[in-house]
């Protein structure tokens, strides 16, 4: 089995170094690029990465630890990426005498005492100052490591752990002292602005390896407008009363939830799903709430249609039948898995997060997809809440309930 990298992947491997962030859009082939870097760092032959015969690494290469999402671990996605390098988590299959471990971020603490190994941190999770970050900072002191991310950081604070890991700052306190001005007008610490950002830009450039990935696919995004009960929507807006629980609505979040339930439960939205499904017999449907899941479960998709789910309740694989529907909850399934057996995603409702929406769309836009045209159907009404969410997402921002409602 040979490895053949694209030109942009080869260029990325050349730029990579210990402690870098490999940044590539969803579907750009970060996993293969990362393993190619590991292969070269352990005595591999560069010709093996451009379609030549596979030349083994020095044996043993460094132990390899891949920290990824629970889903990628459980679906054995990394096993497929490892196989061209004749590496495996199973010693009886692994060509080499080193240890290969694939585990989830939830278990990162188990590896904080590992030494002289190579770590690939997949789907970057080292943000903030919690237990994952503490374990990460301990691991990187005694091992080689790289990070993989489609979206490396939304704010400068997101980079603090990686900057500390690279030795740019001693700790979070030093970073804060040098770069953060907090607002004087809030009860809780809130960043007013960052200072000395020229240095931050220079530091980020020194560790960020961006893959110049040109997509071969063509994405077709279509807004599918559906109706909703205007009368019920206006009534809730006026009375601030929850018709489902028969109790007062207490805050902006509660009001937005009820508005969304009114518009997302409308029968016209369900009809739109079935009409799209008639044209595309294999679809992924993203949704937000359990009541939406109940609606989608009970639609009449027709005989011999397999319906499977990935959410907090069930972790079912993608069906392999001729016609299927895969129901995926945004938070549980917007990242860490791929599908190349359909060209269609339906967004039954919109998520508040721009990042989540982009990641969800990327599940079908992969290097090895057989499709040139990919279809994305965004179901939405012309209600205030749907239009407000759409406006924020169009501006590449997250939707803010408090600002929208002005409670």
pLDDT tens digit sequence for 307-363: 999 998 888 999 999 999 999 999 998 887 889 999 999 999 999 999 899 999 999
Extended strands (E) in 141-194: 144-149, 180-182, 191-194
Confidence of residue 1 (pLDDT cuts 50, 70, 90): low
The rounded percent of the chain whose pLDDT value lies above 70 is 99
Query: Who wins on pLDDT, 222 or 151?
Result: 222
Instruction: Write down the pLDDT at residue 185.
Output: 74
Confidence check: pLDDT of 406 > 90: no
Neighbours of 257 (CB within 10 A): 18
Q: Quickly tell me which residue has 């002005």 as its tokens.
A: 406
Instruction: Write down the pLDDT at residue 140.
Output: 96
Q: Quickly tell me which residue has 């998709």 as its tokens.
A: 301
Strands 282-287 and 218-225: unpaired
Query: Who wins on pLDDT, 153 or 55?
Result: 55
Kind and range of the H or E run holding 161: helix 160-165
Query: CA separation (Å) from 100 to 14, 307, 343?
Result: 24, 35, 34
Average pLDDT over residues 271-285: 97
Tokens representing 160? 């603090």
Confidence check: pLDDT of 18 > 70: yes
Confidence check: pLDDT of 2 > 80: no
Which tens digits make up the pLDDT trace of 73-103?
A: 888 889 989 999 999 999 999 999 999 999 9
Average pLDDT over residues 294-312: 95
Confidence check: pLDDT of 63 > 60: yes
Confidence of residue 124 (pLDDT cuts 50, 70, 90): low
Instruction: Write down the pLDDT at residue 255.
Output: 97
Q: How far is Cα 149 from Cα 67, in angstroms, rounded to an integer?
A: 12
Helical residues (DSSP H) of 315-407, grouped into ranges: 330-333, 354-361, 384-394, 401-405
Mean pLDDT, the chain, rounded, equals 92
Please tell me if the domain spanning 7-210 has the same topology as the one spanning 218-405.
yes
The CATH superfamily label for domain 7-210 reads Tandem AAA-ATPase domain (3.40.50.10810)
Instruction: Write down the pLDDT at residue 3.
Output: 87
Confidence check: pLDDT of 227 > 80: yes
Average pLDDT over residues 147-151: 85
Report domain extents, the chain: 7-210, 218-405
CATH number (3.40.50.300, 1.20.1630.10, 2.60.40.10, 1.10.3720.10) of 218-405 reads: 3.40.50.300
Average pLDDT over residues 118-135: 84
Q: How far is Cα 63 from Cα 103, in angstroms, rounded to an integer?
A: 14
Instruction: Write down the pLDDT at residue 131.
Output: 86
Confidence check: pLDDT of 45 > 70: yes
Closest to 401 in 3D by CA, of 287, 238, 260: 260
């Amino acid at each position: 089995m040979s490895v053949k990298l694209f030109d942009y992947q080869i260029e990325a491997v050349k730029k990579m170094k210990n402690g870098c962030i490999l940044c590539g859009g969803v579907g750009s082939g970060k996993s293969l690029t990362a393993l190619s870097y590991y292969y070269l760092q352990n005595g591999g032959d560069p010709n093996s990465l451009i379609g030549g015969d596979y030349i083994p690494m020095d044996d043993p290469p460094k132990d390899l630890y891949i920290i990824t999402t629970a889903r990628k671990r459980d679906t054995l996605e990394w096993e497929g990426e490892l196989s061209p390098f004749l590496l495996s988590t199973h010693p009886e299959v692994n060509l080499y005498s080193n240890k290969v471990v694939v585990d989830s971020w939830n278990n990162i603490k188990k590896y904080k005492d590992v030494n002289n190994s190579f770590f690939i941190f997949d789907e970057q999770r080292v943000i903030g100052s919690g237990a994952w970050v503490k374990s990460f900072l301990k691991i990187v002191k005694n091992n080689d490591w790289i990070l993989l991310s489609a979206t490396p950081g939304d704010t400068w604070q997101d980079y603090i752990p990686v900057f500390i890991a690279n030795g740019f700052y001693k700790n979070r306190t030093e970073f804060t002292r040098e770069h953060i001005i907090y607002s004087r007008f809030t009860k809780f610490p809130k960043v007013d602005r960052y200072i000395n950002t020229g240095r931050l830009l220079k530091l980020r450039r020194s560790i960020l390896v961006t893959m110049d990935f040109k997509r071969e696919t063509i994405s077709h995004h279509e807004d599918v407008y559906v109706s909703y009960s205007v009368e019920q929507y206006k009534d809730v807006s006026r009375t601030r009363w929850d018709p489902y629980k028969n109790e007062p609505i207490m805050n902006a979040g509660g009001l937005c939830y009820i508005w969304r339930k009114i518009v997302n439960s409308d029968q016209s939205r369900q009809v739109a799903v079935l009409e799209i499904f008639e044209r595309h017999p294999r679809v992924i449907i993203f949704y937000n709430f359990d009541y939406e899941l109940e609606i989608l479960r009970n639609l009449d998709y027709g005989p011999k249609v397999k319906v499977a789910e990935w959410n907090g309740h069930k972790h079912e694989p993608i069906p392999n039948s001729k016609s299927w529907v895969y129901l995926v909850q945004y938070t549980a399934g917007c990242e860490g898995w791929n599908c190349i057996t359909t060209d269609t995603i339906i967004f039954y409702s919109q998520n508040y997060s721009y990042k989540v929406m982009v990641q969800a769309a990327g599940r079908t836009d992969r290097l090895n997809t057989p499709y040139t045209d990919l279809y994305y159907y965004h179901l939405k009404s012309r209600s205030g809440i749907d239009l407000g969410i759409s406006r924020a997402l169009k501006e590449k921002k997250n939707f803010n309930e408090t600002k929208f409602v002005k409670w």
